[in-house]
Homo-oligomer: A and B are copies of this chain.
Protein backbone atom coordinates (compact mmCIF):
# COMPACT_ATOMS: atom_id res chain seq x y z
CA UNK A 1 0.00 0.00 0.00
CA UNK A 2 1.49 3.28 -1.14
CA UNK A 3 0.15 6.41 0.53
CA UNK A 4 1.05 9.46 -1.51
CA UNK A 5 1.12 13.00 -0.29
CA UNK A 6 -2.42 13.28 -1.73
CA UNK A 7 -3.59 10.30 0.32
CA UNK A 8 -2.12 11.75 3.52
CA UNK A 9 -3.82 15.04 2.74
CA UNK A 10 -7.15 13.27 2.21
CA UNK A 11 -6.78 11.45 5.53
CA UNK A 12 -5.86 14.63 7.42
CA UNK A 13 -8.76 16.54 5.87
CA UNK A 14 -11.24 13.75 6.49
CA UNK A 15 -10.28 13.11 10.11
CA UNK A 16 -9.30 16.68 10.94
CA UNK A 17 -5.93 17.59 12.44
CA UNK A 18 -7.21 17.79 16.00
CA UNK A 19 -8.82 14.35 15.88
CA UNK A 20 -5.78 12.88 14.17
CA UNK A 21 -3.45 14.31 16.81
CA UNK A 22 -5.74 13.14 19.65
CA UNK A 23 -5.83 9.64 18.17
CA UNK A 24 -2.07 9.63 17.76
CA UNK A 25 -1.42 10.80 21.33
CA UNK A 26 -3.77 8.12 22.63
CA UNK A 27 -2.34 5.37 20.42
CA UNK A 28 1.22 6.34 21.27
CA UNK A 29 0.45 6.33 25.00
CA UNK A 30 -1.16 2.92 24.69
CA UNK A 31 1.67 1.54 22.53
CA UNK A 32 4.28 2.75 25.03
CA UNK A 33 2.24 1.29 27.88
CA UNK A 34 2.23 -2.06 26.07
CA UNK A 35 5.84 -1.79 24.89
CA UNK A 36 7.67 -5.08 25.44
CA UNK A 37 11.30 -5.38 24.32
CA UNK A 38 10.70 -9.11 23.79
CA UNK A 39 8.11 -8.37 21.11
CA UNK A 40 9.58 -5.19 19.67
CA UNK A 41 13.13 -4.86 18.46
CA UNK A 42 14.50 -1.36 17.84
CA UNK A 43 17.90 -0.95 16.20
CA UNK A 44 19.98 2.17 16.76
CA UNK A 45 19.63 4.50 13.84
CA UNK A 46 22.52 4.71 11.45
CA UNK A 47 23.25 6.67 8.33
CA UNK A 48 25.39 8.99 6.30
CA UNK A 49 26.53 12.34 7.70
CA UNK A 50 28.13 14.81 5.30
CA UNK A 51 29.05 18.39 4.50
CA UNK A 52 28.97 18.16 0.70
CA UNK A 53 27.32 20.14 -0.84
CA UNK A 54 25.43 21.11 2.33
CA UNK A 55 25.61 19.99 5.92
CA UNK A 56 23.16 17.13 6.32
CA UNK A 57 22.42 13.53 7.14
CA UNK A 58 20.42 10.64 5.77
CA UNK A 59 19.49 8.08 8.39
CA UNK A 60 17.37 4.97 8.71
CA UNK A 61 15.44 4.10 11.85
CA UNK A 62 14.39 0.43 12.00
CA UNK A 63 11.90 -1.19 14.35
CA UNK A 64 10.45 -4.70 14.18
CA UNK A 65 7.33 -6.22 15.69
CA UNK A 66 8.66 -9.76 16.07
CA UNK A 67 7.00 -12.18 13.65
CA UNK A 68 4.90 -9.42 12.08
CA UNK A 69 6.36 -6.38 10.28
CA UNK A 70 9.40 -4.13 10.34
CA UNK A 71 9.09 -0.37 9.87
CA UNK A 72 12.06 1.53 8.50
CA UNK A 73 11.92 5.29 8.35
CA UNK A 74 14.50 6.99 6.18
CA UNK A 75 14.92 10.57 7.24
CA UNK A 76 16.94 13.38 5.72
CA UNK A 77 17.98 16.32 7.85
CA UNK A 78 19.21 19.25 5.75
CA UNK A 79 19.12 22.60 7.57
CA UNK A 80 19.84 24.46 4.32
CA UNK A 81 16.67 23.08 2.68
CA UNK A 82 14.27 25.94 3.58
CA UNK A 83 16.67 28.66 2.43
CA UNK A 84 18.37 26.99 -0.54
CA UNK A 85 15.64 24.69 -1.88
CA UNK A 86 12.36 25.89 -0.41
CA UNK A 87 11.97 22.44 1.16
CA UNK A 88 11.50 21.54 4.82
CA UNK A 89 14.60 20.69 6.89
CA UNK A 90 13.25 17.17 7.40
CA UNK A 91 12.19 15.07 4.40
CA UNK A 92 11.28 11.50 5.09
CA UNK A 93 9.54 8.33 3.97
CA UNK A 94 8.42 5.34 6.04
CA UNK A 95 8.40 1.77 4.71
CA UNK A 96 6.82 -1.30 6.23
CA UNK A 97 8.02 -4.87 5.46
CA UNK A 98 6.46 -8.23 6.20
CA UNK A 99 9.12 -10.08 8.18
CA UNK A 100 7.66 -13.47 7.33
CA UNK A 101 8.50 -12.94 3.62
CA UNK A 102 10.47 -9.70 3.16
CA UNK A 103 7.63 -8.16 1.12
CA UNK A 104 7.32 -4.35 1.07
CA UNK A 105 3.83 -3.85 2.50
CA UNK A 106 3.59 -0.07 2.64
CA UNK A 107 5.33 3.17 1.78
CA UNK A 108 4.09 6.39 3.35
CA UNK A 109 5.22 9.98 3.65
CA UNK A 110 7.47 10.50 6.67
CA UNK A 111 7.72 14.29 6.63
CA UNK A 112 4.20 15.10 7.86
CA UNK A 113 4.16 11.90 9.93
CA UNK A 114 7.48 12.73 11.63
CA UNK A 115 6.17 16.14 12.60
CA UNK A 116 3.02 14.52 14.02
CA UNK A 117 4.69 11.72 15.95
CA UNK A 118 7.47 13.87 17.39
CA UNK A 119 4.87 16.33 18.60
CA UNK A 120 2.65 13.56 19.97
CA UNK A 121 5.60 12.17 21.96
CA UNK A 122 6.15 15.57 23.56
CA UNK A 123 2.46 15.73 24.40
CA UNK A 124 2.60 12.27 26.00
CA UNK A 125 5.51 13.36 28.22
CA UNK A 126 4.02 16.78 28.94
CA UNK A 127 0.71 15.29 30.08
CA UNK A 128 2.58 13.40 32.80
CA UNK A 129 5.23 15.96 33.74
CA UNK A 130 3.83 19.51 33.38
CA UNK A 131 2.52 21.21 36.49
CA UNK A 132 -1.27 21.21 36.71
CA UNK A 133 -2.70 24.48 35.48
CA UNK A 134 0.29 25.25 33.23
CA UNK A 135 -0.95 27.75 30.66
CA UNK A 136 2.13 29.52 29.28
CA UNK A 137 4.24 27.85 26.61
CA UNK A 138 7.62 29.15 25.41
CA UNK A 139 8.82 28.14 21.97
CA UNK A 140 12.49 28.54 21.06
CA UNK A 141 12.88 27.82 17.37
CA UNK A 142 9.82 28.59 15.21
CA UNK A 143 10.29 26.32 12.21
CA UNK A 144 8.13 23.44 11.00
CA UNK A 145 8.50 21.27 14.09
CA UNK A 146 7.42 24.17 16.33
CA UNK A 147 4.03 24.33 14.58
CA UNK A 148 3.20 20.69 15.25
CA UNK A 149 4.77 20.69 18.74
CA UNK A 150 2.57 23.57 19.80
CA UNK A 151 -0.47 21.96 18.21
CA UNK A 152 0.13 18.71 20.12
CA UNK A 153 0.66 20.59 23.39
CA UNK A 154 -2.63 22.40 22.84
CA UNK A 155 -4.37 18.99 22.82
CA UNK A 156 -3.12 18.09 26.33
CA UNK A 157 -3.06 21.46 28.10
CA UNK A 158 -5.05 24.64 28.02
CA UNK A 159 -2.75 27.28 26.57
CA UNK A 160 -3.41 30.98 27.29
CA UNK A 161 -0.16 32.43 26.12
CA UNK A 162 2.56 31.46 23.67
CA UNK A 163 5.94 33.20 23.91
CA UNK A 164 8.18 32.55 20.94
CA UNK A 165 11.63 33.30 19.64
CA UNK A 166 13.63 32.42 16.55
CA UNK A 167 17.10 33.72 15.74
CA UNK A 168 15.81 34.31 12.19
CA UNK A 169 13.39 37.28 12.48
CA UNK A 170 11.65 36.26 9.24
CA UNK A 171 10.79 32.85 10.65
CA UNK A 172 9.63 34.37 13.93
CA UNK A 173 7.48 36.94 12.09
CA UNK A 174 5.23 34.27 10.57
CA UNK A 175 5.02 31.86 13.51
CA UNK A 176 1.85 33.14 15.16
CA UNK A 177 0.03 32.97 11.83
CA UNK A 178 1.32 29.46 11.02
CA UNK A 179 0.57 28.10 14.49
CA UNK A 180 -2.91 29.56 14.84
CA UNK A 181 -4.26 29.33 11.28
CA UNK A 182 -7.79 27.94 11.11
CA UNK A 183 -8.17 28.30 14.87
CA UNK A 184 -5.64 25.53 15.46
CA UNK A 185 -4.10 27.05 18.59
CA UNK A 186 -6.06 29.97 20.01
CA UNK A 187 -3.87 31.79 22.50
CA UNK A 188 -2.11 35.10 22.83
CA UNK A 189 1.13 34.99 20.83
CA UNK A 190 4.04 37.20 21.87
CA UNK A 191 7.44 37.36 20.23
CA UNK A 192 9.72 37.59 23.26
CA UNK A 193 13.45 37.80 23.97
CA UNK A 194 14.83 34.49 25.18
CA UNK A 195 15.57 35.58 28.77
CA UNK A 196 12.00 36.79 29.38
CA UNK A 197 10.56 33.83 27.50
CA UNK A 198 12.27 31.18 29.62
CA UNK A 199 11.53 32.89 32.93
CA UNK A 200 7.79 33.18 32.21
CA UNK A 201 6.96 29.78 30.65
CA UNK A 202 5.48 26.78 32.41
CA UNK A 203 6.33 24.56 29.48
CA UNK A 204 9.26 25.17 27.15
CA UNK A 205 9.90 23.61 23.78
CA UNK A 206 13.19 23.85 21.86
CA UNK A 207 13.12 22.97 18.16
CA UNK A 208 16.21 24.65 16.81
CA UNK A 209 18.83 23.80 14.21
CA UNK A 210 21.58 25.05 16.52
CA UNK A 211 24.99 24.03 15.19
CA UNK A 212 27.34 21.62 16.92
CA UNK A 213 29.15 23.38 19.74
CA UNK A 214 26.89 26.45 19.65
CA UNK A 215 24.38 25.36 22.28
CA UNK A 216 22.77 25.95 24.67
CA UNK A 217 20.04 28.06 23.08
CA UNK A 218 19.12 29.80 26.35
CA UNK A 219 20.71 30.56 29.70
CA UNK A 220 19.66 28.87 32.90
CA UNK A 221 18.38 32.02 34.64
CA UNK A 222 15.15 32.52 36.57
CA UNK A 223 13.39 29.44 35.19
CA UNK A 224 10.18 28.43 36.91
CA UNK A 225 10.84 25.77 39.53
CA UNK A 226 8.25 23.50 37.88
CA UNK A 227 9.25 24.14 34.27
CA UNK A 228 8.82 21.20 31.91
CA UNK A 229 11.02 21.30 28.80
CA UNK A 230 10.53 19.32 25.60
CA UNK A 231 13.99 19.37 23.99
CA UNK A 232 13.36 18.32 20.41
CA UNK A 233 16.20 19.72 18.32
CA UNK A 234 19.15 17.53 19.33
CA UNK A 235 19.86 14.79 16.83
CA UNK A 236 23.64 14.96 16.33
CA UNK A 237 26.57 13.96 18.37
CA UNK A 238 27.85 17.30 19.74
CA UNK A 239 24.56 19.14 19.19
CA UNK A 240 22.48 20.15 22.21
CA UNK A 241 20.05 22.91 23.16
CA UNK A 242 19.77 23.01 26.96
CA UNK A 243 22.09 24.38 29.66
CA UNK A 244 23.77 21.56 31.54
CA UNK A 245 22.85 22.99 34.93
CA UNK A 246 19.14 22.63 34.10
CA UNK A 247 19.65 19.00 33.14
CA UNK A 248 21.65 18.35 36.30
CA UNK A 249 18.85 19.47 38.63
CA UNK A 250 15.92 18.10 36.59
CA UNK A 251 14.21 14.79 36.00
CA UNK A 252 15.53 13.91 32.54
CA UNK A 253 13.41 11.48 30.50
CA UNK A 254 14.87 10.41 27.14
CA UNK A 255 12.62 8.82 24.52
CA UNK A 256 15.30 6.21 23.83
CA UNK A 257 18.12 6.15 26.32
CA UNK A 258 20.94 4.81 24.16
CA UNK A 259 20.18 7.21 21.33
CA UNK A 260 19.76 10.22 23.63
CA UNK A 261 23.10 9.51 25.27
CA UNK A 262 24.68 9.61 21.83
CA UNK A 263 22.73 12.43 20.18
CA UNK A 264 20.41 14.10 22.66
CA UNK A 265 20.65 16.33 25.71
CA UNK A 266 21.73 13.26 27.68
CA UNK A 267 25.15 13.65 26.02
CA UNK A 268 25.79 16.33 28.63
CA UNK A 269 25.18 14.00 31.58
CA UNK A 270 27.16 11.02 32.90
CA UNK A 271 25.51 7.79 31.66
CA UNK A 272 24.58 6.58 35.16
CA UNK A 273 22.66 9.82 35.78
CA UNK A 274 19.86 8.66 33.43
CA UNK A 275 17.71 6.12 35.20
CA UNK A 276 14.45 6.37 33.29
CA UNK A 277 12.93 6.76 29.83
CA UNK A 278 9.58 7.38 28.14
CA UNK A 279 8.55 3.73 28.56
CA UNK A 280 9.17 3.86 32.30
CA UNK A 281 7.38 7.21 32.51
CA UNK A 282 4.19 5.66 31.13
CA UNK A 283 4.46 2.13 32.48
CA UNK A 284 5.41 3.28 36.01
CA UNK A 285 3.39 6.51 36.26
CA UNK A 286 3.19 6.25 40.06
CA UNK A 287 6.98 6.78 40.28
CA UNK A 288 6.53 10.25 38.79
CA UNK A 289 3.62 11.65 40.77
CA UNK A 290 5.83 14.22 42.54
CA UNK A 291 7.56 15.33 39.35
CA UNK A 292 4.91 17.80 38.21
CA UNK A 293 6.07 20.37 40.74
CA UNK A 294 9.75 20.02 39.91
CA UNK A 295 11.67 20.76 36.75
CA UNK A 296 11.70 18.05 34.10
CA UNK A 297 13.11 17.54 30.62
CA UNK A 298 11.79 15.28 27.88
CA UNK A 299 14.88 14.56 25.76
CA UNK A 300 13.34 13.77 22.37
CA UNK A 301 15.72 12.40 19.77
CA UNK A 302 12.97 10.66 17.78
CA UNK A 303 12.26 7.00 18.46
CA UNK A 304 11.65 4.47 15.67
CA UNK A 305 8.77 2.95 17.66
CA UNK A 306 6.86 6.23 17.24
CA UNK A 307 7.22 5.90 13.46
CA UNK A 308 5.69 2.46 13.62
CA UNK A 309 2.69 3.77 15.57
CA UNK A 310 2.02 6.76 13.31
CA UNK A 311 2.38 4.64 10.16
CA UNK A 312 -0.16 2.13 11.47
CA UNK A 313 -2.57 4.98 12.26
CA UNK A 314 -2.37 6.24 8.68
CA UNK A 315 -2.60 2.77 7.16
CA UNK A 316 -5.72 2.15 9.26
CA UNK A 317 -7.31 5.41 8.10
CA UNK A 318 -6.35 4.62 4.51
CA UNK A 319 -8.02 1.21 4.72
CA UNK A 320 -11.15 2.70 6.25
CA UNK A 321 -11.38 5.46 3.63
CA UNK A 322 -10.30 3.25 0.74
CA UNK A 323 -7.45 5.55 -0.31
CA UNK A 324 -3.91 4.56 -1.26
CA UNK A 325 -2.44 2.65 -4.18
CA UNK A 326 -1.69 -1.07 -4.14
CA UNK A 327 1.97 -1.37 -5.02
CA UNK A 328 3.73 -4.22 -6.74
CA UNK A 329 7.40 -3.35 -6.78
CA UNK A 330 9.10 -6.71 -6.30
CA UNK A 331 9.26 -8.86 -9.40
CA UNK A 332 8.24 -12.11 -7.76
CA UNK A 333 6.71 -14.62 -10.08
CA UNK A 334 4.84 -17.87 -10.44
CA UNK A 335 8.09 -19.79 -10.29
CA UNK A 336 10.10 -18.78 -7.23
CA UNK A 337 13.12 -20.55 -8.72
CA UNK A 338 13.29 -18.44 -11.88
CA UNK A 339 14.12 -14.76 -11.48
CA UNK A 340 13.44 -14.19 -15.20
CA UNK A 341 10.06 -15.92 -15.27
CA UNK A 342 8.02 -12.73 -14.81
CA UNK A 343 9.43 -11.28 -18.02
CA UNK A 344 8.18 -14.02 -20.29
CA UNK A 345 5.07 -15.11 -18.41
CA UNK A 346 3.34 -11.75 -18.34
CA UNK A 347 -0.19 -13.02 -18.33
CA UNK A 348 0.36 -15.77 -15.78
CA UNK A 349 2.17 -13.60 -13.31
CA UNK A 350 -0.65 -11.03 -13.31
CA UNK A 351 -2.60 -13.52 -11.25
CA UNK A 352 0.29 -13.76 -8.81
CA UNK A 353 0.39 -10.03 -8.75
CA UNK A 354 -3.26 -9.65 -7.82
CA UNK A 355 -3.03 -12.35 -5.17
CA UNK A 356 -0.06 -10.63 -3.66
CA UNK A 357 -1.93 -7.35 -3.44
CA UNK A 358 -4.72 -9.05 -1.58
CA UNK A 359 -2.16 -10.58 0.78
CA UNK A 360 -0.65 -7.23 1.61
Of A61-69, A157-165, A225-233, A271-279, the stretch lying at the interface with chain B is: A61-69
> Quick check: is A148 within 8 A (CB to CB) of the other chain?
yes
Known interface pairs A9-B343, A12-B343; A111-B332 also in contact (CB < 8 Å)? yes
What's the minimum C-beta distance from A208 to chain B, rounded to whole angstroms? 13
Cβ-defined contact, A82 with B337, below 8 A = yes
A102 touches which of B76, B104, B343, B346 (Cβ 8 Å):
B76
> Quick check: is A17 within 8 A (CB to CB) of the other chain?
yes
Secondary structure class of chain A's binding surface, majority of residues:
mixed
Interface centre among A112, A142, A337, A346 (most CB of B within 10 A): A337
> Quick check: is A190 within 8 A (CB to CB) of the other chain?
no
Cβ-defined contact, B81 with A101, below 8 A = yes
Q: Give A100-116 as 1s and 0s: 1 = Cβ < 8 Å from B's Cβ atoms.
A: 11111001111110011
How far does the alpha carbon of A144 sit from the alpha carbon of B72 in the complex, in Å?
27
> Quick check: is A70 within 8 A (CB to CB) of the other chain?
yes
| Beta-carbon contacts under 8 Å, A55-88 to B | 56, 58, 60, 62, 64, 66-67, 70, 72, 74-78, 81-82, 85-88
> Quick check: is A335 within 8 A (CB to CB) of the other chain?
yes
Interface size on A, residues (CB 8 A): 94
- What 17 new A-B contacts, CB under 8 Å, besides A5-B331, A76-B103, A78-B102? A2-B329, A3-B329, A12-B343, A41-B48, A48-B64, A60-B62, A75-B102, A77-B102, A81-B336, A88-B339, A93-B95, A93-B329, A107-B329, A108-B329, A144-B337, A147-B339, A147-B340
26 contacts between A and B (CB under 8 A): A3-B329, A5-B331, A9-B343, A9-B346, A12-B340, A17-B340, A43-B47, A52-B67, A53-B100, A56-B99, A75-B102, A78-B100, A78-B101, A78-B102, A81-B101, A81-B102, A81-B336, A82-B337, A87-B332, A88-B337, A91-B103, A91-B104, A107-B107, A147-B337, A171-B337, A178-B337
Chain A residues proximal to chain B, CB less than 8 Å: 2-6, 8-9, 12-13, 17, 41, 43, 46-48, 50, 52-54, 56, 58, 60, 62, 64, 66-67, 70, 72, 74-78, 81-82, 85-93, 95, 97, 99-104, 107-112, 115-116, 142-145, 147-148, 151, 171, 174, 178, 181-182, 184, 327-344, 346, 352-353
